Amino acid sequence: MEIFEKMAQYDYEQIVFCHDPSVNLKAIIVIHDTTLGAALGGCRMRMYPTEEDAIIDCLRLGRGMTYKAAAAGLSLGGGKAVIIADPKKDKSEEFWRSYGKFVNSLNGRYITAEDMGTSVEDMEIVLQETPFVTGVSKSHGGSGDPSLFTALGTVQGIKACVEEVFGSTSLEGKKIAVQGVGNVGYHLCKFLHKEGAKLIVSGHHQDRIDMVKKEFGAKVVGEYDIYSVDCDIFSPNAVGAIINDDTIPQLKCSIIAGAANNQLAETRHGDKIHEMGILYAPDYVINAGGLI
């Protein structure tokens, strides 16, 4: 990978590589654009197949945050952090304190927050080392877990799409295929069920899958079967780049609207689904509720 070539392609300002072998911390912080203000973006923690995959994900996510903040009318820029580690076993207080020190070293150019694989509790520890963190508990002046607000905004976006395609905002009886039932996906399923939607779900979190099946009567399908479900709406709420050359031919929906970041693997895929007559809600608009 040619790093500076990647940075020049979309005008990235800065990439920071953070390494603390004493706690096995390997983190990447991307600052995409600070024209409108400090770069705000969550900290994602997962076991990436390669370091290059982690860099590419962070670059894409950081750029998406710039668009999201601008579209929401906020005086913020876009950034992101990713940590190459297992969120189930690699966390410790020392680990998060070390990450907080790296964030603090940027002197406010980047503001971190929870994201996939991280939590409000993790950010509480980060807060002990830097003030440049958001999404902490209300007792510390924060807003808490943003997942609920992300899901709430996504529901409103889905209803707007449904009105455009079907002529009414009602979700009663609409078949919605929900990919991912993590923090955002679970709340989204709850809201959609309340609106009378019929849910088909897939995801990695078996405990959450069992919950949405029991609580909301959702039908469960395999991880790769979710794309070919005959539905009104396909709602991606997990990882990005899932609208691609392999999945597009499988789609049997009228609308794509979900909270996942960077849903299009490439910009041209937006044109491709448009040609198929599928209405796509840009992810950085529909999922901005948590940021707002």
Q: Which of 6, 26, 68, 80 is catalytic?
A: 80
* d(C-alpha 85, C-alpha 46), whole Å: 5
Closest CA to 134 of 174, 103, 165: 103
pTM beyond 0.95? no
Contact (Cβ atoms closer than 8 angstroms) between residue 288 and residue 65: no
pLDDT, tens digit, 9 for 90 and up, residues 236-282: 999 889 999 999 999 999 999 999 999 999 999 999 999 999 999 99
What fold characterizes domain 147-286?
Rossmann fold (3.40.50)
pLDDT, tens digit, 9 for 90 and up, residues 18-27: 999 999 999 9
Segments making up each domain of the chain, as ranges: 3-140, 147-286
Closest CA to 263 of 175, 114, 154: 154
Q: How would you class 248 by CB atoms within 10 Å of its CB: exposed for 0-12, middle for 13-18, buried for 19 or more?
A: middle
pLDDT, tens digit, 9 for 90 and up, residues 49-72: 999 999 999 999 999 999 999 999
The answer to whether domain 3-140 and domain 147-286 are alike in fold is yes
Query: Is residue 177's pLDDT more than 80?
Result: yes
* DSSP at 135: S
Over the chain, what is the mean pLDDT? 96
Which is the CATH superfamily of the domain at 3-140?
Leucine Dehydrogenase, chain A, domain 1 (3.40.50.10860)
Annotated catalytic, 91?
no
Query: Is residue 140's pLDDT more than 90?
Result: no
Q: Which residue has the higher pLDDT, 156 or 138?
A: 156
* d(C-alpha 166, C-alpha 144), whole Å: 35
Q: How would you class 265 by CB atoms within 10 Å of its CB: exposed for 0-12, middle for 13-18, buried for 19 or more?
A: middle
Question: Minimum mean pLDDT among 71-80, 162-171, 200-209: which range?
Answer: 200-209
At residue 143, the pLDDT reads 75
At 285, list the tokens.
């608009």
